[in-house]
Structure 1
Amino acid sequence: MAVARYLGARQGDTRQRKLSHLKANFIHELETNPEFVSLRDLFAWMHFKFDALPWCLKRCILYESVFSEAKRIRMRPSHFVRRWIAEGYSKCTNSKTMEEYAADLFSKLTKETASMGEWRVNSFFHEYINSRLMEERAVFFPLVVSILDKSRCLVATEGLGQHLVISSNWKRNEEFVFEDVDFSHLQSLTVYGVWKSFFIPYKMKSLRVLDLEGTSNIGDDELQRMLELLPRLRFLSLRGHREITCLPDSVSGLRHLQTLDIRRTSIVYVELQKLQKLQCIRAGTSLRWMDDRGLPAKEESTPSSFSSGTLAYCLCKFLGCRHDGTGNGIKVPAGIRHLKALSTLGVINVNTAKGKDILPDIRQLKQLKKLELSGIKRKNSKYLSKAVINQKNLESLSLQVVKENRSVRWDAIYLPSSIRSLKLYGHLDKLSALRFNNLRNLRKLSLEMTKLLTEKDLHILGSVESLITLRLRVDNAHDGKLQFPPHLPANEDQSHGQNQTPASPPVNNHQANGEHQAPDHLPVIHQADGKQQVPGRLFSKLQVLELVCLSKLQVIFEKGATEKLEVMKAHCCSDSSLEVTGLVHLVSLKQVCLQGSYGDTLQEALQKQLDHHPKKPALKLQVKTQSPSSQASRQCMLNSDMDIVCRVEFIMTILHLHLLRIRLDMRIAVYWHTKVYLGMLVMPLSTSLSTAD
């Protein structure tokens, strides 16, 4: 408002001149110009908060300027943590590892700078950080970030710091900036926008971090050139570069590499056995619940080689082939057991000829904390159990099950009790309480099934007392109902009691023998007076519930159910129908989030229930409502256009192959004609020689 009033009082060229001056010195003008006196209290508060921060957190905030365009590229906590470790800023203490120390700093940073669940750099706060960078240089401060963008050129005016950021709006024709700059002490390079080869002009022996996630125009040849010039690289991110198809041989020379992020590239096979210091490998393609428009993804995310528009995709579509989802992970050879420092690994495809050799290798990686596997089938599920059951440090596990004729039995998969986050995608059989009872530390569960959850399945999930976040998606075309009860029905408890022998003592025999084994039904039953059993509460700690609706679904919350639920998210597909009742019974509800394609009827029904709620929760609409007819017609047009493009590309490919064959036939014909002609010339010569003899 203050800036609007300031510019609104000017007209014509004066306004444009003032605006240009304000852009060039934004924070300085807001702090010193008398016309912005109303902002003095705000800046005084920001100065006070910044100066009161501890040294380690202040350094994190100054490092925040590296992510100058994170408002367009979402900043992930793991991204910050891995970079912070590679920079050498994280330290190991008696009670915390380097990862735990960096994660704790990031958690404190988000509390100080943002209150949103999905952290992004605030643009105004980012400008304030840049202004403080200049002030902090007056004091001894071992962290300097240099930024190249449209309005600033810190490299040319102030010298180069340890960290260089090249923004997308910086003109790429100003190559002369790099001619007189000393890069020998450069520690990290972060690039947004189009990549140019002169960004790495010669060998940089001190560069530890190369973050190219926000760039474009990088191919296999350029990647090989730059890696040969970076012998001490610790962090390499190539995420999102579809044009990169393989890692060059020079990657084996990166002996200090700790983090390799090649997710959403076209790389399908890697050999990294020589990189003994690798701690994190992010590769392949994770399955997504939502597409780029915020709508529920009806099919699993395809790997890079099957992306829309590629030749493989067009051929498969033209010939009627269907991708089964097994290619979401990359293939690795046997021998990854030698990477003893690995803490994050995935996505790895185990549905290969050597898949049985990979799972025993994973079993030897005792430092694993996060593991993502694809290609899980009934045949290799027993090898999976042997690979993960003794992983005492494993906290996050993601399994992508192959959709085949026979589903994977959940009873055949044994998981360690240390797991805090579990993601299951694909063709899974009915849930088993015997396995879920062992997950005592499970906080977050993402579950995709081909069949609608039954009442017993909900009871099994509700019995996980530590569960805080639950994400459910059912890829089923049939109608269904999800009913959340407050506790286990009494008749089910009585029926269980009748199955036991009358002489059985109240104490479980397995517990008396010291064995930790759970029965195959819900065990959450508490005895009040030694005779009468009271059903245990279901979803006693659940705070976030996320549902993906692909068909007609009815969700019912009974009175007293999910008492601690604060946020409910619903993702609707264009041809789905969602009905939610009982929101007034959710006593802790704060927000209902509606995404995707939904009608006015659902929106009005939810708003009506929230208006009658005592706490008046907010209804958040993240995607604009679209009518099913318009979406269907648009999708039909897109499919039609894609069919035409696929057929044209297919025909062009066939013609190209025919042309190559014609060229080959011509070369063969020329070869034989030349051979025959030479033979005709040589025969008279040989005859004359024999006659002369």
Structure 2
Amino acid sequence: MIQLQSVTTNVPSMSLTSCSVNGFFREYIVSQPMEDNMVFALEEHCSQNSQYTGRHLVIRSSWDRDRYVFDSIDFSRLRSLTVFGEWKSFFISEKMKVLRVLDLEDTSEVTNDDLEKIVKLLSRLKFLSLRGITSLSRLPDSLGNLKQLETLDVRHTSVAMLPSTIINLQKLQYIRAGTTAARGDEEPSAQERSTEGSSGLPNKFRRPRFISSHPGVKLPRGIGKLMALHTLGVIDVGTKGGHAILKELKNLTQVRKLGVSGVNHDNVQDFYSAIMAQGHLQSLSVRLDEDIQDFFSCLDDIPEESLKKNLTSFKLYGHVSKLPAWTSQLRNYIKLDLEMTVLMLEEVIDSLGDITFLRRLRLCVKPSQDVELNICFRNQLGREFLVLEFIEIDCSSRLQLAFEEGAMRYLHLLKVHCAGGSQISGLAHLEELKEVQIIGFCDVALKQDLERQLEEHPTKPKPVLMMEEVSSC
């Protein structure tokens, strides 16, 4: 009934298996929840005479938005609502008294007034996702009345500040915020993330790729009262009041995932104190002010012990020239994401090889001058990126990338953003390689050489080459 895909989809840092199911059994699986009145969907031209009732409603982008059909639905048992495509104000009804989950990610035409109505009528919400709705510029003060709210997602909206009333939400565990500039079109839309016509791995498991801008949102005073928070970010501490917010972070001792932007020379000591107070931190993302030079010399002062115990994911952005001294001393990293201006890249790569459990590495590198960048991964002194499965290299100039024998022997996915005239060699040494992705300007010579290397690759089936040309890299 269910079979593993012959060509698996690589998802860095996540243990996912892609499967396919026979069409007949798929229809049966989809139909059962509907027959049990669990899930129902509005799509294309639904009839008003049909009986719609259940706990989970999906409004697909293909539905013709017939209000008469919508008003005929029994919402008395509805617990979750997911909307794809265009939003209509009548999608929220006073009859949705027990609605707990509202997912409007990437929905279009949602206004600030619509959100005020949503908050007013759906007082029992536990989950609210507004991610990707760029038309939203503010959150209403009435948000503080959602006493049961546990998750708030306003990433990639135009919301720049959270309302002061948010400190009343004592059950809030996840605040996901920050407006991020997209680099490419890897982020699937909500419509693409729906499972319509797909029997493979859902697109929702793909991770977005962004670069160059990670501004956070401003937090109100009193945020330190939200003791249940597990995830917080991205928050901007580089503006007025940032010092006070960093001091309040010390009270949030249950935080597992933290994203901070606006770190600079002026607030770095408060940043140290906030980080050292976190005993459960697993993921840390730091965005430095763009005008800071050689800032990681300041980050050297963070004690290793304050991060060593639990940290598995570390992201550093800000066009800096080196890593903090303690980076290579942490042994538990699974994901590492670096954006830096290159001076001594070989030293950086050598230190990364010491990170024992590193599975995902992303390097966004910019040469200090407009010259060709040479990156060579070697197996030196037993440092061979023992379990690295995914590496992404983003270079703004020509790139000479080489892999020597014994380095990255377990690499599954190689992803490279590069300019014309780049070269990649040594793919035969990547013994577990499944896929190579090239994004940017790829000339004929590079394409032909990659095809030759993959055709001669010792594994079976042969690794796959994916190419995507964009206007700039």
- How would you bin the TM-score normalised by the shorter chain? 0.7 to 0.9
Q: Deviations over 1:353-411 (max 9, x none)?
A: 21111112112111111111111213322322221224232111111111115331241
| 1:382–1:413 Cα contact (<8 Å) kept | no
Aligned residue in 2 for 1:420: 312
Structure 2 counterparts to residues 222-621 of structure 1, below 5 A: 222-270=114-162, 271=164, 272-286=166-180, 290-292=183-185, 300-301=212-213, 328-409=215-296, 410-414=299-303, 416-417=307-308, 418-437=310-329, 439-476=330-367, 477-487=370-380, 535-573=381-419, 576-615=420-459, 617-621=462-466
Matched, 1:170 2:14: no
Contact 2:180 2:210 in 1 (8 A): no
More helix by share: 1
Match of 1:130 in 2: 30
- Per the alignment, do residues 485 and 468 of structure 1 end up closer, same or farther by CA in structure 2, a change over 3 Å counting? same
**Partner deviation per Cα, 1:239-267 (whole Å, 9 max, x = no partner):** 11112111112211100011111111111
Distance 1:362 1:115, change over 3 A: farther
CA offset digits 1:327-363 (Å, max 9, x no partner): x110012211111111111110010121111112112
Match of 2:71 among 179, 193, 215: 179
Q: What is the Cα deviation at residue 455 of structure 1?
A: 1.8
- CA distance, structure 1, for counterparts of residue 211 and residue 252 of structure 2: 32
Distance 1:293 1:444, change over 3 A: closer
Output the CA distance in 2 between the equivalents of 1:559 and 1:612.
16
Residue by residue, what CA displacement relative to the aligned partner does 1:272-306 show, whole Å, maximum 9, x if unpaired?
11111111111112465x41279x999624xxxxx
1:200 aligns with 92
The separation in 2 between residues aligned to 1:469 and 1:422, in whole angstroms, is: 11
Match of 2:197 in 1: none
CA distance in 2, matches of 1:474, 1:599: 21
Residue 525 of structure 1 corresponds to which residue in structure 2? Answer: none
CA-CA distance at 1:612 after TM superposition: 2.9
Counterpart of 2:285, as a letter, is S
Which residue identity lines up with residue 159 of structure 2 in the other structure?
I
Q: What TM-score does the superposition give when structure 1 sets the normalisation length?
A: 0.58
Alignment-derived partner of residue 496 in structure 1: none
SS class of match (1:559): coil
Q: Is the 8 A contact 1:404 1:427 kept in 2?
A: no
Q: Distance in 1 between matches of 2:397 and 2:22?
A: 38
What is the distance in 2 between the residues matched to 1:593 and 1:565? 13
How far off its partner does 1:558 sit? Answer: 2.0
CA distance in 2, matches of 1:200, 1:115: 36
Partners of 2:292 and 2:40 in 1: how far apart? 56
SS at match of 2:107: strand
**1:367 match: secondary structure:** coil
**Is the Cα contact below 8 Å between 1:554 and 1:579 reproduced in 2?**
yes
Residues 609 and 329 of structure 1: is their aligned pair in 2 closer, same or farther, counting only changes over 3 Å?
same
Evaluate the alpha carbon distance shift between residue 253 and residue 124 of structure 1 in structure 2; reply closer, same or farther with a 3 A threshold: farther
Residue 288 of structure 2 aligns with an amino acid whose one-letter code is V
Task: Deviation per CA, 1:425-462: give whole Å up to 9, x if none.
Answer: 1132422443430x221011111102245222111111
1:358/1:384 Cα in 2 relative to 1: closer, same or farther (>3 Å)?
same
> Measured at CA, do residues 125 and 394 of structure 1 come closer, stay the same or move farther in structure 2, by a change above 3 Å?
farther
> Is the contact between residue 540 and residue 564 of structure 1 (CA under 8 Å) also seen in structure 2?
yes
Taking structure 2 as the reference length, what is the TM-score of the superposition?
0.84
| Contact map agreement 1:549 1:578 (CA 8 A) in 2 | no
Paired with 1:473 and 1:399, the residues of 2 have a C-alpha distance of 15
Give the stretch that moved more between structures: 427-436 or 355-364: 427-436
Cα contact 1:432–1:460 (8 A) shared by 2? no
Is this contact kept in 2: 1:459–1:538, CA < 8 A?
no
Q: After superposition, what is the alpha-carbon deviation per residue over 1:531-584, rounded to whole angstroms, capped at 9, x for unaligned?
A: xxxx342312222221112102211222222222232111224xx432112222
Counterpart contact for 1:431–1:460, Cα < 8 Å: no
Cα distance in 2 between the residues matched to 1:558 and 1:130: 48
Q: Which amino acid aligns with 2:464?
A: L
Percent identity, aligned pairs only, is 42
In 2, Cα distance between the equivalents of 1:150 and 1:607? Answer: 43
The Cα shift of 1:127 comes to 4.5
Instruction: Assess if the C-alpha contact under 8 Å between 2:372 and 2:399 holds in 1.
Output: yes
Rounded Cα–Cα distance in structure 2 between residues aligned with 1:238 and 1:184: 24
Task: Give per-residue Cα distances to partners, 1:19-47, cap 9 Å, x unaligned.
Answer: xxxxxxxxxxxxxxxxxxxxxxxxxx36x
Give the unaligned 5+ runs of structure 1. Answer: 1-44, 50-75, 78-102, 138-142, 302-324, 488-534, 636-693
Inter-CA distance 567–222: structure 2 relative to 1 (3 Å threshold): closer
What is the rounded CA distance, in whole Å, between the counterparts of 1:453 and 1:281 in structure 2?
Answer: 37
Report the RMSD for the aligned CA atoms in angstroms: 3.0
- Which of these two proteins has the greater Rg computed from alpha carbons? 1
Q: Which amino acid aligns with 2:236?
A: N
- Which protein has the bigger strand share? 2
Number of corresponding residues: 436
Note if 1:147 corresponds to 2:46.
Answer: no
Q: Paired residue for 1:532? A: none
| 1:92-119 per-position Cα deviation (integer Å, ceiling 9, x unaligned) | xxxxxxxxxxx9xxx6xx54xx349xxx
- Which one-letter code corresponds to 2:143 in the other structure? V
